C-alpha cells in the first residue's frame, strides 16, 4: 500500500455500549473500525498500518458516531456511510462485500458466504477473511455463524459478538 492509496487519514475514538470504538477514514470513506481502541496507540497503529500520517479529528465523525450510537440503541438498521477498503486481497474484499448483503437481524453461515461469492469450498478462507475485516460492525462480520448454529469466532470475543446479535434481536441456542 502506498501513501497515495490512503491519502489523508483522520480518526476518532469514542465510548460505546461495547467499549471504546476507533474509527478511521480517508477522504473516500471509513477504512477502519476497531473495538477496544486506545487513544494512546490507535493513531500510531493507523500510521504503521497505512504508512501515512493520521490526525485525531473527532469533529469529522459526527454522522458516523450518531449512526453507531443509534445502532447500539436498536434504532439504526442500516449504515449509509461510505466505506473505503484500502487493504485486503480480492478474495477478502469479495467476502466483505458479501457480509454487507446479510440483512440486519439475520445470520448466515460461513458456508453461505463461500457460496455467495462463488467459492463454495472456501469456507475456512471465508472465516479467515471474516477475521481480518477492517470495518467491523459496519461490515457485519458478527452476523456470520457456524453451519451447526454455533457462534463461531470474533476478534473482540464471543461476548461482544453475542451482544451485537442481541441488539439485532438474534438469540442463538448454542
Catalytic residue among 31, 52, 81, 141: 141
Measure the CA–CA gap between 160 and 17, rounded to whole angstroms.
10
Number of Cβ within a 10 Å radius of residue 88: 15
Distance between CA 1 and CA 3 in Å, rounded? 7
Cα distances (Å, whole numbers) of residue 11 to 15, 20, 116, 120, 127: 14, 13, 32, 37, 27
- Cβ atoms of residues 12 and 56 within 8 Å: yes
Q: How many whole angstroms separate alpha carbon 89 and alpha carbon 48?
A: 19
Residue 52: active-site member: no
Q: Please list the active-site residues.
A: 141
Amino acid at each position: 500500500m502506498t501513501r497515495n492509496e490512503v491519502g489523508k487519514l483522520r480518526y476518532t475514538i469514542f465510548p460505546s455500549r461495547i467499549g471504546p470504538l476507533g474509527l478511521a477514514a480517508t477522504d473516500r470513506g471509513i477504512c477502519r473500525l476497531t473495538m477496544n481502541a486506545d487513544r494512546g496507540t490507535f493513531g500510531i497503529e493507523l500510521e504503521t498500518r497505512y504508512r501515512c500520517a493520521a490526525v485525531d479529528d473527532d469533529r469529522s465523525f459526527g454522522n458516523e458516531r450518531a449512526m453507531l450510537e443509534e445502532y447500539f440503541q436498536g434504532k439504526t438498521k442500516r449504515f449509509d456511510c461510505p466505506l473505503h477498503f484500502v487493504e485486503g486481497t480480492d478474495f477478502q474484499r469479495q467476502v466483505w462485500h458479501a457480509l454487507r448483503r446479510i440483512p440486519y437481524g439475520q445470520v448466515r453461515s460461513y458456508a453461505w458466504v463461500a457460496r455467495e461469492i462463488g467459492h463454495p469450498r472456501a469456507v475456512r478462507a471465508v472465516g479467515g477473511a471474516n477475521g481480518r475485516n477492517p470495518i467491523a460492525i459496519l461490515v457485519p462480520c458478527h452476523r456470520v455463524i457456524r453451519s451447526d448454529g454455533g457462534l463461531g469466532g470474533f476478534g473482540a470475543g464471543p461476548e461482544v459478538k453475542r451482544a451485537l446479535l442481541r441488539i439485532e434481536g438474534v438469540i442463538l441456542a448454542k
